[in-house]
Amino acid sequence: MSGPQKEPMFERIALIGIGLIGSSISHASRRSNLAREIVGSARTPATVETAMKLGLIDEGYVTAAEAVEGADLVILCTPVGLCGPIAKEISRSLKPGAILTDVGSVKASIVRDVSPHVPEGVHFVPGHPIAGTEQSGPESGFAELFDSRWCILTPEPHTDGKAVEKLRSFWEALGSKVEIMTPEHHDLVLAITSHVPHLIAYNIVNTAEHLERVTDSEVIKFSAGGFRDFTRIAASDPTMWRDVFLNNKEAVLDMLGRFTEDLTMLQRAIRFGDGETLHRLFTDARAVRRSIIQAGQDTAAPDFGRTHGQTTPSSSAPAKKR
Amino acid sequence: MSGPQKEPMFERIALIGIGLIGSSISHASRRSNLAREIVGSARTPATVETAMKLGLIDEGYVTAAEAVEGADLVILCTPVGLCGPIAKEISRSLKPGAILTDVGSVKASIVRDVSPHVPEGVHFVPGHPIAGTEQSGPESGFAELFDSRWCILTPEPHTDGKAVEKLRSFWEALGSKVEIMTPEHHDLVLAITSHVPHLIAYNIVNTAEHLERVTDSEVIKFSAGGFRDFTRIAASDPTMWRDVFLNNKEAVLDMLGRFTEDLTMLQRAIRFGDGETLHRLFTDARAVRRSIIQAGQDTAAPDFGRTHGQTTPSSSAPAKKR
């Protein structure tokens, strides 16, 4: 991460969509003086208003086409399914020489949907910061979100090298480490590191909700046994995640097939009391956790560093209304 | 949670096994002055030595039979599979009138394995604190582990009521809330709130490790997309968890069947692009998260309150060697 810039890297950044990622990009850009001006648009006027009030954007627009005018960096921060339609909408308003990027969790479908609308002279470099929390909306962002996290860029072979390097520098200045790969490989890697984990988390929450012999209240009370860990990522934005699964079908179904195959083997080991297989697999898993901590991708603090010893629920912050 | 007692609740507590739970019981008992003396035994002499050094126990023994002599509260804090053999070993050494309990994550098999060895006049009240971290060993315990968490007791109908009430008071003084249910219901509830979540976490870590087209290094680097949440509980003690699955086979297989059924439905929704079903299920899951936070069973802080903005891995504590 570099320190604050003397001259801003961009004159005008346009954020299309101002949720968790858009607002965090604004905070982190301000932190390092990366833009002379940050403008934005959102589908709902209330979001634009909130973003103005929070100082996330200097100017707010109702349409994406207005927002991108004169911007030398345009970042699509909407659910994946909206990127194509928005690209079509802004196509004629993009400034020649501008860099167009996105933050979507799938990449091949974005390339497919956005590329046809990118005019000559505009550099489209798809991107995906591997960072987030379960919160959403313009109030949920913070400047440190991308620190030490990876951001993947998936330019095509013909993409302008300078534009790619400038976007890489931008993400590094936001705090990230940057890796470049193909959209297809990105989608495969993220299927296992993000998409299938979210699907499984959503699924077990759903399973737990529909039991006849265990009450919802029991599920809640005794969730500290492990279940609560899953509910965090299952609280992520439903629209964003619907779009992820609709747009990374093949890789997700592929990885899900592997997962089910492995689970069936574990199920069989339990059924036949094969303690040796269970113990071996459980021991291997510890090593992976250690590697993640050593790579700086998670905290070494027990229980994620959750605060213990809160004797009353009210001593923790109230759950945020969504 | 009551404050420190004037007179200790027990004269002599014997901890059989001094890992995360045993050591946390010691810390929490000292915090509230619940025992005049805490003694213990462990299978490996090094653990006893460490426990003595840390002040977790006043006297350490190599055998459980020696440790329980004269104790008015004996707590089995070993993996579930060892409870039966240890009960047999200590049977003749238990003090008349003593309360014998355990902290195992399954209850019906404990009742089956331990009860035959409990002598007349000793009160066996099985227990299970729904609390823990992914750490293990005598150094991993802390006094606040049980604060605001639930502890389930599963006495039989003929169990002495006074003994049950005394153990309830003990757990409340350790910081817990207490619920009483049958061993069978406990095993069903924990199958969904704890056992299946752990199994799924172990399984996806295993799946991710054995891919041909995604490297282990990629899995580690991009784990912040969700995968890392699963690795925490998959780093739990392998022996403890092997014993859980070997001893709660029916309930786990039952819940696993439900989970797979639901996952197959989600898989089908993805295959056929049924965004409406996906969105509905994902929206429901948010409500469960909110309930858990409102019940004081998890933190409302985004990302479990993980520290963001650690720019170098070395700024977090090093991974603990196991």
Q: Which of A201, A226, A297 sits opposite B224 (nearest CB)?
A: A297
Contacts of B145 in chain A (CB under 8 A): 308
Beta bridge partners of B177: B150
Taking phi first (over 0 means left), then psi (-120 to 50 degrees means alpha), and beta for anything else, what does residue B310 get? beta
| Interchain contact, B288 vs A245, CB within 8 Å | no
| Interchain contact, A242 vs B273, CB within 8 Å | no
pLDDT of B6 reads 76
Chain A closest CA to B113's CA: distance in Å? 17
Note the pLDDT tens digit of each residue in A118-173.
999 999 999 999 999 999 999 999 999 999 999 999 999 999 999 999 999 999 99
Chain B closest CA to A311's CA: distance in Å? 5
Angle at B254 between CA B251 and CA B256, to 5 degrees: 105
| Interchain contact, A193 vs B202, CB within 8 Å | no
Round to whole Å and give the CA distance between A41 and A59.
9
pLDDT of A322 reads 33
Q: Which of B255, B267, B273 is nearest to A260 (CA)?
A: B267
User: Which CATH number applies to A10-181: 3.40.50.2300, 3.40.50.2000, 3.40.50.300, 3.40.50.720?
Assistant: 3.40.50.720
Is the pLDDT at B312 greater than 60? The verdict is no
Q: Which of A228, A195, A276, A151 is nearest to B221 (CA)?
A: A151
Size of interface A-B (CB pairs under 8 A): 431
pLDDT of A307 reads 79
Contacts of A311 in chain B (CB under 8 A): 1, 147-148, 175
ipTM: 0.91
| Interchain contact, B283 vs A238, CB within 8 Å | yes
| Interchain contact, B279 vs A239, CB within 8 Å | yes
Which of A135, A172, A230 should we substitute to test contact with B (largest number of B Cβ atoms within 10 Å)?
A230
- Over residues B265-276, the mean pLDDT reads 98
For B176, the 3-state DSSP assignment is coil
Chain B closest CA to A253's CA: distance in Å? 7
CB A77 within 8 A of CB A19: yes
Chain A closest CA to B79's CA: distance in Å? 13
Contacts of B188 in chain A (CB under 8 A): 213-214
Q: Which of A233, A282, A286 sits opposite B229 (nearest CB)?
A: A233
Round to whole Å and give the CA distance between B309 and B290.
26
Which of B150, B186, B207, B314 should we substitute to test contact with A (largest number of A Cβ atoms within 10 Å)?
B207
Non-local (6+) Cβ contacts of A174 within 8 A are A1, A25, A28, A29, A32, A34, A129, A146, A151
Q: What is the mean pLDDT of chain A?
A: 93
Note the pLDDT tens digit of each residue in A308-319.
765 344 333 333
- Over residues B76-87, the mean pLDDT reads 98
Non-local (6+) Cβ contacts of A294 within 8 A are B313, B318, B319
Rg (CA), chain A: 21
3-state class percentages of chain B: helix first, strand second, coil last, to nearest 5:
50, 10, 35
CB B172 within 8 A of CB B178: yes
Round to whole Å and give the CA distance between B178 and B167.
10
Residue type, A98: A
**What fold characterizes domain B186-296?**
6-phosphogluconate dehydrogenase C-terminal fold (1.10.3660)
For B39, the 3-state DSSP assignment is strand
Q: Which of B223, B275, B290 sits opposite A298 (nearest CB)?
A: B223
Note the pLDDT tens digit of each residue in A215-273.
999 999 999 999 999 999 999 999 999 999 999 999 999 999 999 999 999 999 999 99
CB B40 within 8 A of CB B72: no
pLDDT of A8 reads 96
Domain map (residue ranges) of chain A? 10-181, 186-296
Beta strands in A88-183 (DSSP E): 99-102, 123-124, 127-129, 150-153, 177-180
- Over residues B96-114, the mean pLDDT reads 98
- C-alpha torsion sign, points A233, A238, A241, A245: positive
| Interchain contact, B267 vs A253, CB within 8 Å | yes
Q: Which residue intervals of B115-248 are DSSP H helices?
A: 161-173, 183-190, 196-209, 216-221, 227-233, 238-247
| Interchain contact, B202 vs A130, CB within 8 Å | no
Contacts 24+ apart (CB under 8 A), B274-280: B275/A242, B275/A243, B275/A246, B278/A238, B278/A241, B278/A242, B278/A245, B278/A246, B279/A238, B279/A239, B279/A242
CB B41 within 8 A of CB B57: no
Note the pLDDT tens digit of each residue in A7-56.
999 999 999 999 999 999 999 999 999 999 999 999 999 999 999 999 99
Chain A closest CA to B285's CA: distance in Å? 6
Is the pLDDT at A213 greater than 50? The verdict is yes
pLDDT of B316 reads 37
pTM of the model: 0.92
- Over residues B230-234, the mean pLDDT reads 93
- Over residues B24-39, the mean pLDDT reads 98
Instruction: Provide the pLDDT confidence category of residue B222 given band limits of 50, 70 and 90.
Output: very high
Return the DSSP state at B4.
Answer: -
Contacts of A205 in chain B (CB under 8 A): 284-285, 288-289
